[in-house]
C-alpha cells in the first residue's frame, strides 16, 4: 500500500484549521485520519490537531497484526471516543477554546478490507475499477435535505447552510460515529478529504482526476483545482492506494 497526503490553507483563510496524519503499521497495513476544525482560528486548529494526534496514538498503540474486522472497528471507535473526550475537556478548561470541535474521517486498510469511521462532513471516496463512490454520508443539514428529497446534490453545493454540520468531535461529552467496511484490493484507492475539496469538485470531476493522474500527483492536482474553483476554505486530501 502507498500513502499520499497534503493540506493547503486555500485562498481566503488566514490559518489552516485542517489536520491530517497518515502511517503504516508494522505488518504493512495503512491508516489515515483527516480532521477539519471549527471554533475560530485557534480553536479550530487546536481541535483538529488534538483529535488527529489522539486518534493516531490510540490506533498505533492498540493495533495488532492478527486483529479481525470487529476488533479493528472497536479500536477505531475507541480512538475517536478518546479524542472526543480530549477535545471536549480542553474546550471546557482552556480559555479561548470554548466551543471548539472538528470533523473526523479515519480509515484503516488491512487484508483487502477498508475500515472507515467518521463524524461530520469530511468524506471518504472509494475508487475501484473505473468508478468512484462516496462511502461516508455527511452529517450535515444539507445532507438531511438531500436525503429527504427537498434539494438535489447539486443544489446542496451552493446552499447557504452547506457548512452546518450535525455531528462534530469535541462538542459534546459523547459522540455518535458511523462505521463502515468495504472490499479494498487490486488497484483500489480511498480518497479522504475535507469540504474545502468536496465543495468544489464533483464525483465525476474526482473520477476524471483519478483516471488522468498518478497518485503522487493527485493530491496536488485536486488542491490546485479546488483553488481554481474558488478555494475559499482550507483543503486537505489523503489517499491510500492498495
Structural domains in the chain, CATH included, are: 2-132+168-241 (3.60.40.10)
Angle (CA) 172-173-174 rounded to 5° is 90
* pLDDT attached to residue 77: 97
Q: What are phi and psi of 96, to 5 degrees?
A: 90, -5
Task: List, for the chain, all residue ranges whose pLDDT scores fall below the cut of 50.
Answer: none
* pLDDT attached to residue 156: 81
The rounded distance, in Å, linking the Cα atoms of 26 and 239 is 19
Q: How many CA atoms lie within 13 A of 139 on its CB side?
A: 19
The rounded distance, in Å, linking the Cα atoms of 123 and 65 is 27
Using a 10 angstrom Cβ sphere, with 0-12 exposed, 13-18 middle and 19 or more buried, the burial of residue 160 is exposed
* pLDDT attached to residue 163: 80
* pLDDT attached to residue 31: 98
pTM strictly above 0.85: yes
Bridge partners, 133 (sequence order): 126
Please, what's the largest Cα pairwise distance for the chain?
Answer: 50
The rounded distance, in Å, linking the Cα atoms of 187 and 199 is 26
Q: What is the CA radius of gyration of the chain?
A: 17
Q: Which three cell numbers stand for residue 196?
A: 474545502
Sign of CA dihedral 139, 141, 145, 148: positive
The rounded distance, in Å, linking the Cα atoms of 34 and 190 is 12
* pLDDT attached to residue 158: 78
Q: Are 84 and 170 in contact (CB under 8 A)?
A: yes
Amino acid at each position: 500500500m502507498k500513502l499520499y497526503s497534503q493540506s493547503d490553507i486555500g485562498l481566503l483563510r488566514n490559518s489552516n484549521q485542517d489536520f491530517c496524519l497518515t502511517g503504516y503499521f508494522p505488518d504493512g497495513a495503512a491508516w489515515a485520519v483527516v480532521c477539519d476544525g471549527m471554533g475560530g482560528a485557534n480553536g479550530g486548529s487546536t481541535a483538529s490537531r488534538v483529535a488527529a494526534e489522539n486518534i493516531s496514538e490510540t490506533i498505533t498503540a492498540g493495533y495488532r497484526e492478527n486483529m479481525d474486522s470487529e476488533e479493528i472497528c472497536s479500536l477505531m471507535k475507541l480512538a475517536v471516543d478518546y479524542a472526543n473526550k480530549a477535545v471536549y475537556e480542553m474546550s471546557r478548561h482552556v480559555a479561548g477554546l470554548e466551543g471548539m470541535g472538528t470533523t473526523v474521517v479515519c480509515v484503516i486498510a488491512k487484508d483487502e478490507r477498508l475500515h472507515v469511521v467518521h463524524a461530520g462532513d469530511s468524506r471518504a471516496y472509494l475508487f475501484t475499477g473505473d468508478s468512484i463512490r462516496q462511502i461516508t454520508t455527511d452529517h450535515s443539514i444539507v445532507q438531511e435535505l438531500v436525503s429527504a428529497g427537498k434539494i438535489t446534490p447539486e443544489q446542496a453545493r451552493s446552499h447557504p447552510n452547506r457548512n452546518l454540520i450535525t455531528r462534530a468531535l469535541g462538542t459534546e461529552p459523547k459522540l455518535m460515529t458511523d462505521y463502515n467496511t468495504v472490499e479494498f484490493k487490486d488497484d483500489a484507492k480511498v480518497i479522504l478529504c475535507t469540504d474545502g475539496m468536496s465543495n468544489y469538485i464533483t464525483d465525476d470531476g474526482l473520477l476524471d482526476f483519478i483516471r488522468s493522474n498518478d497518485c503522487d500527483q493527485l493530491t496536488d492536482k485536486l488542491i490546485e483545482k479546488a483553488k481554481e474553483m474558488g478555494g475559499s476554505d482550507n483543503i486537505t486530501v489523503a489517499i491510500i492506494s492498495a
